[in-house]
Amino acid sequence: MMLITGFFLLFVACIAYMHTDMSISKNSPSYLAKLQWDEVQATIQQIQGIFDQCLAVHDKLETSLHDLSRTGDTKSCKAARKAADAQFKELAKELKPLLTSVQSSPQSSQIWPKVEDLVAKEREMQEKLMARHSTVVDSFEKKLRGQDIENRIASQQQKIGALRQEVESLLEYLSEI
């Protein structure tokens, strides 16, 4: 009888254990902090996606400049610039609420300075790229020699390269979080 009772109690205990919810309460501060952190990470991933799209637009502008130097077609280069401007405006609209969300979250206090720096560096790179694009197109319209064009944009090209490296390193830092 003791053996049967012992096994019966063991099975009852196992059934009770399996039906017991041992999870952390959904109202606990640690659970809520984890949810907020997950939201911040999702927002950061969306921000990274937007900046990846910005870098793709930069590459398209670079390609249009290479095509310009090859073909001399300034109209297609200007059209690429207009398309890039429109894409940058659209991406800025998408980025604004995400930045507000990250800035207002208490979980992102350590990440916010890097995100802010990323935004500033990308905008500076965008301005330099647009200035370089305008310089090259104007030079082609004035029919300047290739060497003269290279001399006019050499310093801009170095700044753009350095800014691109900084933006990519900041994006890599954010992806590691």
pLDDT exceeds cutoff 70 at 21: no
Nearest C-alpha neighbor of 43 from the set 90, 118, 102: 102
Q: Does residue 51 contact residue 118 with C-beta atoms inside 8 Å?
A: yes
Tens digits of residue pLDDT in 46-61? 999 999 999 899 899 8
DSSP string computed for 25-84: PTTSHHHHHHHHHHHHHHHHHHHHHHHHHHHHHHHHHHHHHHHHHHH--HHHHHHHHHHH
pLDDT value for 49: 92
Using pLDDT thresholds of 50, 70 and 90, give the confidence band for residue 157. confident
pLDDT value for 7: 96
Tens digits of residue pLDDT in 58-117? 899 888 888 887 887 788 888 888 999 999 999 999 989 988 888 888 877 888 888 889
Q: What kind of fold does domain 32-176 have according to CATH?
A: A middle domain of Talin 1 (1.20.1420)
Using pLDDT thresholds of 50, 70 and 90, give the confidence band for residue 13. very high
Task: Return contacts of 32-38, CB within 8 angstroms, 24+ apart.
Answer: 33/107, 36/105, 36/106, 36/107, 37/107
**Interatomic CA distance for residues 129 and 123, integer angstroms:** 10
Burial of 78 from C-beta contacts in 10 A (0-12 / 13-18 / 19+): middle
Average pLDDT score, the chain = 85
Give the residue with greater pLDDT, 153 vs 95: 95
